[in-house]
Amino acid sequence: MFFGRDKSTHEVSVQDLESALAENFNKKLSGLDSKASRILESIERSKAELGKACKAFRSLNNDPDTDFIRASSITYISDQKEAYANLLERILSSHGRVDGDGTYDFYYSRMQDTEVLLSEILKANTTFKMVLDAYPNHLGAFKKAFSLLESGWRMLKAEVESRNGEVREFTLLQGHIRSLAALADEQASINSEIKGLEGGIPRNVDAHAEIKSLEDKVMELKDARKALDHRSSEFNAEIGVILGIIDKPARKHDYLSMYKPKLIHILASPGQLAQPHVYDQFYEQVAEMKTEIGNKVISVKNEIEVNGAIDQILSGKIKELIYRMAEAQSNRIPLENEIRDLERMVGELKGMVNGEAEKESTLASLRKRAGEIVKEREELKSKISLLFSEYYHKRITIA
């Protein structure tokens, strides 16, 4: 335990800050476990009922109803019934029960797994639609179990997403903590470089060859960074295509919804969608626009294409693309850090080659950066301590 129940100030090392954050985050969300665990149990029962329904359906001996379907033979439909039951059982077995530690991450992962399970079952139903049409009076157990499973997933999703505020707090603090750790690493690296330059330690390698090797490595890293930037651009372009399709109906929707935030303003600056409250407004209005199109309140020429784009948005496609863009940018940071470190090393080596004047210039730059890091670290420590107090009512000092 990092903290007791007392209100005294506790000292925490930089290395232990993330563990302390995780501990307090899970404490703050302790109420999630009692509610979400019961929901998860109901989900597991629904999965078990689906499994029973599969077995009962496989053993069903009734002839299929072929009055309203096209089929080559009753035997063929019976074989398809067997294949359908087998597929559902394989799907269910691949989403077996997982015991967890009751943390937010555990319930978030179970929510996602259940969503995937529902999607795979629906795909199986589409693939074997002929089977479902042939046994319309023997699907009650399936429908009931699937409905309960879907209801459980929605309840778990609502329970998990009700903690979005706490998650945003956690993410903000985690970002500050990782920045502090990165500054500590950079400071240690700079101090080592300063010591080496000041000591004038003789080098036993060919400086020119080492510079070439480091510059080659920098080029490789820059290519990797460029690839990440290209991925981000592709995701951004995909977002632009989806949003472009709904531009015209969005203008009509805005005209009807005079006193609501304008969809067209969001479409003009899609970067706003990274903000949760803007995304929620956007999602809600797109859902309204779909209803308006369905009810013919809004008319569109390319209704199939527009509805396709809307369905992508409502299924979370935009949110997924925004997450992938953020992930690509996050993966870019370590590349930037390594490129900066290697370029600094190249600068140091070139300074040695070009003489004492260059070396002194490099030293001055490093010392300046070292001073900046000290200030940045102290500012971050104060910010982290303040947020710990604000979010978790814990007073800490950072060693």
What is the structure's pLDDT at 259? 63
Q: What's the pLDDT at 266?
A: 83
Long-range contacts of 25-34 (CB under 8 A, 24+ apart): 25/104, 25/166, 25/169, 25/170, 25/392, 26/103, 26/104, 27/392, 28/166, 28/391, 28/392, 29/103, 29/104, 29/163, 29/166, 32/102, 32/104, 32/107, 32/159, 32/160, 32/163, 33/102, 33/103, 33/107
Could you tell me the mean pLDDT of each successive run of 10 residues in the chain, 399 residues long? 58 89 85 86 93 91 73 76 92 86 85 94 93 89 94 92 86 89 89 80 63 86 84 85 88 80 83 84 89 89 89 87 80 84 84 68 86 90 89 86
Largest CA distance in the chain: 94
pLDDT of residue 120: 95
pLDDT of residue 319: 86
Q: What global pTM score does this model have?
A: 0.50
CA 319 – CA 331 distance, rounded (Å): 18
The residues, any chain, with a CB within 8 Å of residue 304's CB and separated by 6 or more, are: none
Q: Compute the distance between CA of residue 191 and CA of residue 369 in angstroms, rounded to an integer.
A: 10
Please count the other Cβ atoms lying within 10 Å of the Cβ belonging to residue 215.
14
